[in-house]
Amino acid sequence: MQKLCRITVPGLSVKRDFTAARRRLLAEFPDIQEVIATTAPGTLMVLSSGSEDVDAWLATLDSLPTREVRQTGRRLRLRRGCRGGGLTGDDSAA
């Protein structure tokens, strides 16, 4: 079954950091089928099959050298939201 997860990394620039974030997630997690940029600031959609490890995904994205991390020298706070059962489910947090 496929699951669609929305993950938000405050400070992540979809314009500047998306390619690196997508490559890193696809390389490190074989169950991830696709990573999609969104128009919401710092938010990515992750399509995965099998069991997802959202905490590990967020830790991987937290290690990206984003411009904000380099400028402030601190780690970014991460938020997550995930829904299973294909592309249906409660999207009230969107």
Q: Where are the domains of the chain?
A: 2-83
Instruction: Kindly state the helix (H) or strand (E) to which residue 46 belongs, with its residue range.
Output: strand 43-49
Whole-number pLDDT of residue 28:
93
Is the pLDDT confidence value at 89 over 70? Answer: no
Per-residue confidence (pLDDT) for residue 69, from 0 to 100:
39
* 81 pLDDT more than 70: no
Per CATH, domain 2-83 is 3.30.70.100: yes
